Amino acid sequence: MTISVLDPQTALVLIDLQKGIVSRQTVHPIPGVMANAVALAKAFRARGLPVVLVNVAGLAPGRTEAPRMSGAFPPDWMELAPDLDEQPTDLKVTKRTWGAFHNTELEKLLRERGVSQIVLGGVSTSAGVESTARQAHERGFNVALAVDAMTDMSPEAHENSVTRIFPRLGETGTAQEIIAKLGETRA
């Protein structure tokens, strides 16, 4: 469903917009994805709403058929992309699996602030963003997904998440549609 309203206490959660990931080849050009994520962050900050910047610092254990990174990450791999302009009021969460709720303090940080809804963006659509959306939905948060503030390494995976999975987990919209809804509250 297209974004209808945002809860009064909504947080922006941006997934894996870090140097080591935004430097990779993606379906949608990173400068456009970053511009939309930055616009959302500025709008949330201007309204005093929480902005959560999530980075990833490892991989879940276990065998997979997909090739995995081996060895140590490059020194600045986990650093947030400078365009995000991290602020002292931003919350930072480091995860070690795809989803940002698993073994992190994300839920606690959101509950302490009375957050009932999250807006998600980041990389990659079908992994970190989708996993976090699923986990948020399972925990009872309303979920909105800024589809132009996210991308993937696979066009098919991105399309599947946006068209088949996300409508079952929440509402979708563009960054500008979500920014336009920030002033509205539930009746």
pLDDT digit string, tens, across residues 60-114: 666 667 666 666 666 787 899 999 999 999 999 999 999 999 999 999 999 999 9
Say which amino acid occupies 38: V
Per-residue pLDDT of 53-70, as tens digits, reads: 999 987 666 666 766 666
What is the distance between the terminal CA atoms of the chain, rounded to a whole angstrom? 19
Q: Burial-class residue 99 by CB neighbours within 10 Å (0-12, 13-18, 19+).
A: buried
Of 160, 44, 58, nearest in space to 102 by CA: 58
Kindly state the DSSP code that residue 2 receives in the 8-state scheme. B
Q: What is the pTM of this model?
A: 0.93
